[in-house]
DNA sequence: CTGCAACTTGAAGTGCACTTCAACTCAAGC
DNA sequence: GCTTGAGTTGAAGTGCACTTCAAGTTGCAG
């Protein structure tokens, strides 16, 4: 009797019912059905939804999120350990993304300091266009030199 | 004679010609025209494009970016000071967003530590659901308590 | 002067993440 | 048992940020 209707889930998670149905179609979520074919969610599904929202905040597509969630056990309610394993990977994603944004910020500040704002071929930071061979755009930020010497 | 064609701009900025035309339609970019109606960009426009890319990385819509760029002078090439003014605002956006992602990361780690992963009503961090009145979803992350006591 | 790659336009198409709609069914309170 | 708010479906629509296409034009190299 610990089940929730789609409306209750929507209220508690902040995600519209239509979105929850969409997630189900996309395989991110699964709900049991009543005799009358209505969805009944378990409380644990709120965790899944929270996870989805967080991952989206980080800029991850539903496709990738689905893949990640696929690692959770299907037959039993995920345990703390299940979530821990999954989440430590996402901590890395978050760390990476945070690092990228910090580079972004520092470049923005730095290059504005020198007045160039080029961010891809700043002569102060990148004297000889050595990044030109590594693709177009703001390479230093999206793909910092330390990654590939 | 310091002008660049759309193809050259695309190559140097990593943004497709079609996207550059799109940006122009959307009012983010403006190019002079030759007698034969072809676009000719100035080198300074690379900065605009770099700025657009950066802002997008931060998750800002083209609409907002257009508004920000509208603050730059139209009749003259933006100076270092113009860019500085504009960019300091964006540094703030970046800082905010970085802070949000750090909260996100810490919550993820913390709530996984306690096994709840609820991120909106974790009993360790938020003993009495005091956030419930402030909207749905992961309030602590998107809108931390320190913002509004 | 010719040829060809690079440019031009408007219109239509794409992918993602949903939302809206119409028509219908379910479940719970009176 | 009836009403009513909440749920169901598939199909179509939305908004953003582009991309693709067709049909035509431009500009530079030879």
Contact B54 A90 (CB under 8 A): no
Chain A residues with CB-CB distance to B59 below 8 A? 59
Domain boundary pick from B18, B51, B78: B78
Domain boundary pick from B78, B105, B122: B78
| Same-domain status, B51 and B93 | no
| Same-domain status, B108 and B51 | no
| Same-domain status, A104 and A64 | no
| Same-domain status, A68 and A17 | yes
C-alpha B44/C-alpha A116 separation (Å) is 9
Is residue A49 included in any domain, yes or no?
yes
A113 or A36: which carries more pLDDT confidence?
A36
Give, for A64, the enclosing helix (H) or strand (E): helix A62-69
pLDDT in tens, B33-79: 999 999 999 999 998 998 898 888 888 899 999 999 999 998 888 88
C-alpha B59/C-alpha A60 separation (Å) is 12
A14 or B101: which carries more pLDDT confidence?
A14
Per-residue model confidence (pLDDT) at position B37: 97
Contact B57 A12 (CB under 8 A): no
C-alpha B136/C-alpha A50 separation (Å) is 11
| Same-domain status, B136 and B101 | yes
Calculate the average pLDDT of chain A. 77
Note the CA–C1' distance, B59 to C9, in angstroms. Answer: 31
| Same-domain status, A9 and A72 | yes
Contact B51 A117 (CB under 8 A): yes
Is residue A84 included in any domain, yes or no?
no
Is residue B22 included in any domain, yes or no?
yes
pLDDT in tens, B88-137: 888 888 888 888 888 777 777 666 555 555 544 443 333 333 333 334 44
C-alpha B95/C-alpha B92 separation (Å) is 5
Percent of chain B with pLDDT over 70: 72
**Nearest residue in B to A141, CA atom:** B54
| Same-domain status, A115 and A74 | no
| Same-domain status, B3 and B58 | yes
C-alpha B50/C-alpha B72 separation (Å) is 15
| Same-domain status, A73 and A129 | no
Is residue B59 included in any domain, yes or no?
yes
**Residue numbers of the domain that contains B112:** 89-149
Is residue A88 included in any domain, yes or no?
no
Chain A residues with CB-CB distance to B142 below 8 A? 57
- In this structure, what are the phi and psi dihedrals at residue A124, rounded to the nearest 5 degrees? -75, -40
| Same-domain status, A73 and A109 | no
Q: Which residues contact A145 (CB under 8 A, 6 or more apart)?
A: A131
Note the CA–C1' distance, A6 to D9, in angstroms. Answer: 15
**Nearest residue in B to A142, CA atom:** B57
C-alpha A98/C-alpha A103 separation (Å) is 9
C-alpha B79/C-alpha B100 separation (Å) is 32
Is residue B132 included in any domain, yes or no?
yes
CATH no. for residue A53? 1.10.1660.10
The domain tally of chain A equals 2
Per-residue model confidence (pLDDT) at position B95: 86
| Same-domain status, B12 and B66 | yes
| Same-domain status, B30 and B70 | yes
């Amino acid at each position: 009797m610990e089940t929730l209707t789609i409306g209750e889930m929507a209220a508690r998670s902040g995600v519209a019912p239509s979105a929850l149905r969409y997630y189900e179609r996309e395989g991110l979520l699964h709900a049991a059905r009543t005799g009358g074919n209505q969805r009944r969610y378990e409380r644990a599904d709120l965790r899944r939804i929270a996870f989805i929202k967080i991952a989206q905040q980080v800029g991850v597509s539903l496709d990738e999120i689905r893949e990640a969630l696929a690692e959770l056990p299907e037959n039993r309610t995920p345990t703390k350990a299940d979530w821990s394993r999954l989440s430590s990977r996402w901590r890395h994603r978050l760390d990476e993304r945070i690092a990228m944004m910090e580079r972004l910020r520092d470049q923005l500040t730095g290059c504005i300091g020198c007045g160039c704002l080029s961010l891809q071929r700043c002569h102060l930071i990148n004297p000889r266009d050595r990044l030109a061979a590594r693709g177009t755009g703001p390479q230093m930020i999206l793909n910092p030199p330390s990654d590939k010497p």
